[in-house]
C-alpha cells in the first residue's frame, strides 16, 4: 500500500499533453506516454503487485491453469490493479500547469498537487565550486571589486527574503571593467538565467518563452545584460514569473535577485532631475572602475585567476547559504530582509542620485514660468488659470526633456500639476467668467 500511495502522490497526468509526469531520483521532471506509464512508475516507486505470487495462490485453490487461461488471469490482475492506479492518476491527478520551487530547508523532493497546478518542490544542492583558490588572485580581484563580498551576501539574502521587492541590483561599470568575467563565474556555478528586456516583455504578454522552467529551478539571479531602458514590466519582476514554453506545460517559476548590467547610464531610469522614487525604493547600484585585463595578476595567468575567483565565489556562497539555513526558516527570512534593507541604505539609487520627487517643486516652478510666457491664460478675481493644462504640460515636457525622461514625467503629471496650482487641487473645475471649466489655477511665484 505504501508503494501505491507513493505513486498517486508522486505523479500527475496532463490531459493537454497526454503524458504522465513524475520526479525521478535526480529531481528532474520526466514524462512518459501512456504505454510506458506503468513501467516507469514501478521503476521510480517499486512494483506494488507480484503477479507470480498471485498466480501461485490461485493455483493452490484452483489447480494450474492452461497457458491460455494464464494469459487471461494475468490480464485480469493487471486490469484490477494497474488499471485502477492509472485511472486514478488520469482522473484525480490531472494538471496542465506546474509551479517550481526549491525548499532551502527540505531534505526530500516532493510533488504537491494543488487545486489547478502541480507544485514541484526540490531540495537545495550545494554549489559545485571546482578548482583551487590562489589567494593572491582573490585578493587582487577584491582590490578591483571591493564590494564583491557584499554582493555575494546580497545574492544569498535575495534567495531567502520573503519579500524580494528590494532585490533589484544595477551593475553599472565600463565595458572593459569585467562584467562578463563576473557573470561567467556566476553562470558556471548554475546561478544565472539571462534574459533580454524583450524576452521579459514577451513573458508578461503571455507569449511563448524562449526559456524553460528547468532553467530557473535552482537559479538565484535573473540577469538582464546591456540594460538600456526601463520598461514597466521590470517593476513586476518581484518574486515570480509565468512561462508558456512551446510544447511544454505552462509554469510558474520563482525569481530572486534581479541583476541589470550596463556600461552606460539609463536615461529612462536616471534623468537630469533624478531617479523615479519607485525605483529608488527598490533598486541598489554598484559601480566599477578600472580595467580587469590590465591588472598584472590577471595578465600573469588568466585561467588561474578565473578559476580561483570562481571557486572562491562558490565556496563563499555555500558558506553564506549554510549560515542562513542554520537560522531556520523564519530566522533566515528576517536576516535576509534586514540585509537587503541595510544594503539599499548603503547602495540604493538615492545614495547616488537625487530622487525625482525632490525635483518636482523646481520642475513645477519652471513649468509655470514657461506657461506664463507661451500660453494664453484666463484671469479671474486676480488669479491666472491655464485651460487644457494636460496638453500644455505635455508640450513643456517635450520641449525641455529627452524622450526617455518625458515618459517618466508624464506619469507624474498629477503630482506636478498639484505643485503648480495655487490651491493644490491640480487640474480641477473652476467657475471663470460665469462658466465652469477645467483648468489649472496657477501658483504665484
Which run of H or of E encompasses 102? strand 97-103
Asked whether the beta carbons of 200 and 234 are under 8 A apart, the reply is yes
- The strands making up 257-262's β-sheet, listed across from edge to edge, are 192-194, 221-224, 257-262, 168-173, 283-288
Report pLDDT digits (tens) over 165-174: 899 999 999 8
Distance from C-alpha of 196 to C-alpha of 211, rounded to nearest angstrom: 11
CB contact at 8 A, 292 and 176: yes
Domains of the chain: 2-96 (no CATH), 135-354 (3.40.50), 357-441 (no CATH)
* Distance, first Cα to last Cα, the chain: 83
Q: Taking Cα atoms as reference points, which of 358, 346, 388, 353 lies closest to residue 371?
A: 388
CA gap 372, 403 in Å, rounded: 24
- Write the pLDDT tens digit of every residue in 21-76: 999 999 999 999 999 998 899 899 888 776 666 666 656 666 676 666 666 666 76
What are the two backbone dihedrals, phi and then psi, of residue 130, each rounded to the nearest 5 degrees?
-75, 155
C-alpha to C-alpha distance for 429 and 291, rounded to whole angstroms: 59
Mean pLDDT of residues grouped by 10 in the chain (445 residues)?
85 93 92 92 83 61 66 67 86 94 94 93 92 95 97 98 91 91 96 89 79 90 83 75 85 94 80 80 91 95 96 97 97 96 94 87 93 89 91 93 82 92 94 91 86
352: three-class secondary structure by DSSP: coil
Grid cell of 420 as nine digits: 503648480
Q: Which three cell numbers stand for residue 233?
A: 514590466
How far CA 26 is from CA of 19, 108, 296, in Å, comes to: 20, 11, 43
Using CA atoms, how far apart are residues 308 and 133, in angstroms rounded to an integer? 4
In whole angstroms, give the CA distance from residue 199 to residue 216.
Answer: 14
Q: What is the pLDDT of residues 193-202, one digit of tens each?
A: 999 888 888 8
Nearest to 221 by CA among 163, 266, 260: 260
Q: Computed from CA positions of residues 289, 291, 295, 301, in that sequence, does the dihedral angle turn out positive or negative?
A: positive
Contact (CB, 8 A) for 263 and 396 = no
Amino acid at each position: 500500500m505504501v508503494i501505491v500511495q507513493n505513486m498517486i502522490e508522486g505523479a500527475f497526468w496532463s490531459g493537454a499533453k497526454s503524458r504522465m509526469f513524475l520526479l525521478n531520483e535526480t529531481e528532474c521532471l520526466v514524462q512518459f506516454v501512456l504505454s510506458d506509464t506503468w513501467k516507469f512508475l514501478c521503476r521510480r516507486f517499486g512494483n506494488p503487485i507480484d503477479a507470480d505470487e498471485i498466480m501461485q495462490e490461485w493455483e493452490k485453490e484452483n489447480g494450474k491453469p492452461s497457458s491460455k487461461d494464464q494469459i487471461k488471469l494475468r490480464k485480469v490482475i493487471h486490469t484490477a490493479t494497474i488499471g485502477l492506479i492509472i485511472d486514478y492518476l488520469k482522473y484525480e491527478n490531472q494538471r496542465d500547469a506546474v509551479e517550481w520551487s526549491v525548499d532551502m530547508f527540505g531534505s526530500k523532493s516532493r510533488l504537491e498537487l494543488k487545486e489547478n497546478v502541480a507544485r514541484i518542490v526540490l531540495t537545495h544542492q550545494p554549489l559545485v565550486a571546482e578548482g583551487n583558490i590562489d589567494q593572491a588572485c582573490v585578493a587582487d580581484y577584491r582590490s578591483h571589486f571591493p564590494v564583491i563580498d557584499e554582493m555575494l551576501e546580497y545574492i544569498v539574502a535575495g534567495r531567502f527574503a520573503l519579500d524580494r521587492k528590494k532585490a533589484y541590483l544595477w551593475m553599472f561599470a565600463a565595458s572593459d571593467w569585467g562584467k562578463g568575467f563576473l557573470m561567467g563565474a556566476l553562470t558556471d556555478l548554475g546561478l544565472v538565467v539571462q534574459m533580454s528586456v524583450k524576452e521579459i516583455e514577451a513573458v508578461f504578454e503571455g507569449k511563448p518563452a524562449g526559456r524553460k522552467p528547468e532553467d530557473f529551478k535552482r537559479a538565484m539571479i535573473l540577469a538582464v545584460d546591456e540594460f538600456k531602458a526601463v520598461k514597466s514590466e521590470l517593476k513586476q519582476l518581484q518574486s515570480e514569473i509565468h512561462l508558456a514554453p512551446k510544447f511544454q506545460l505552462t509554469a510558474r517559476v520563482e525569481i530572486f535577485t534581479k541583476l541589470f548590467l550596463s556600461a552606460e547610464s539609463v536615461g529612462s531610469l536616471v534623468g537630469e532631475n533624478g531617479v523615479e522614487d519607485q525605483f529608488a525604493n527598490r533598486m541598489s547600484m554598484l559601480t566599477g572602475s578600472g580595467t580587469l585585463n590590465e591588472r598584472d595578476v590577471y595578465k600573469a595567468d588568466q585561467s588561474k585567476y578565473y578559476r580561483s575567483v570562481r571557486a572562491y565565489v562558490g565556496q563563499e556562497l555555500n558558506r553564506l547559504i549554510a549560515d542562513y539555513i542554520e537560522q531556520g526558516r523564519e530566522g533566515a527570512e528576517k536576516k535576509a530582509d534586514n540585509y537587503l534593507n541595510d544594503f539599499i541604505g548603503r547602495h540604493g539609487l538615492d545614495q547616488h542620485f537625487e530622487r525625482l520627487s525632490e525635483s518636482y517643486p523646481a520642475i513645477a516652478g519652471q513649468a509655470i514660468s514657461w506657461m506664463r510666457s507661451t500660453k494664453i491664460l484666463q484671469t479671474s478675481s486676480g488669479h491666472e488659470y491655464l485651460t487644457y493644462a494636460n496638453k500644455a504640460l505635455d508640450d513643456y515636457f517635450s520641449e525641455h526633456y529627452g524622450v526617455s525622461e518625458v515618459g517618466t514625467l508624464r506619469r507624474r503629471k498629477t503630482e506636478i500639476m498639484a505643485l503648480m496650482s495655487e490651491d493644490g487641487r491640480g487640474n480641477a473645475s473652476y467657475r471663470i467668467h460665469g462658466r465652469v471649466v477645467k483648468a489649472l489655477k496657477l501658483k504665484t511665484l
